[in-house]
Amino acid sequence: MPASQSRARARDRNNVLNRAEFLSLNQPPKGVPEPRSSSRKASGPSVQPPAPGDGARERRQSQQLPEEDCMQLNPSFKGIAFNSLLAIDICMSKRLGVCAGRAASWASARSMVKLIGITGHGIPWIGGTILCLVKSSTLAGQEVLMNLLLALLLDIMTVAGVQKLIKRRGPFETSPSLLDYLTMDVYAFPAGHASRAAMVSKFFLSHLVLAVPLRVLLVLWAFCVGLSRVMIGRHHITDVISGFIIGYFQFRLVELVWMSSNTCQRLISAW
């Protein structure tokens, strides 16, 4: 027995881990609690590991949030130019909206300005064209009126489709009138009154023999209709300009598909 104890002491002395400089390796660091026994771990509340989908969702959110919140530090020249023109358009449209509300500077003239805009509305023009078509007794007059009716219907469908696609709001919080809802002229881009005024004026200038003063008045009427829509706050300046351009191309399209007198007579007889 003493021999075995002496051999154990000799073995401990020969173990390098029992030396003073290596004793810190065998002891736990200070401030660190000792691990609990397996029995305590079993009796304590079990912690469930996170589901694999939660970690993937958190990583996806951490990757998406910076992209959503970050600012574009190096925008392109086209983006800067477009945003600048858009800001100028909104600013100038608000300045010209002098009849937009009751507190506007020209609020007393709002009724008269709205009346000018109504002269370019689709409902009066379609109703008047149908009435003139019924009263007309000449083949040439019926041909011109039938093609004018086609141009008016094309204008309403084109403007309504583009407005539904773009869905641009006006510069002021003004609600459309009942007539605007009837012709589906609810949004701002493009201005339906301006496109209709440009198309009708170009149509009359091409197919009616008018004196020079009447031709000048017709062009001024189309310009005043577009300006009135900006003054009451329903459209931006670019909406009106785009409406003028669309109205001109609509006239060109009607000229390409011009219905002959025989075709117009067949359509009238079918009614």
Grouped pLDDT means (10 residues each) for the chain, 271 residues: 62 58 51 48 48 56 48 66 86 87 82 90 91 88 92 93 90 79 85 94 91 93 94 92 95 93 84 71
Quick one: how far is CA 257 from the chain centroid?
32
Task: Point out the catalytic residue in the list 121, 207, 235, 236.
Answer: 235
Which pLDDT score, from 0 to 100, does residue 12 have? 63
User: What gap in Å lies between CA 46 and CA 35, rounded to an integer?
Assistant: 16
236 is catalytic: no
193 is catalytic: yes
Task: Point out the catalytic residue in the list 121, 193, 207, 236.
Answer: 193
Tokens in use for 77?
């020249």
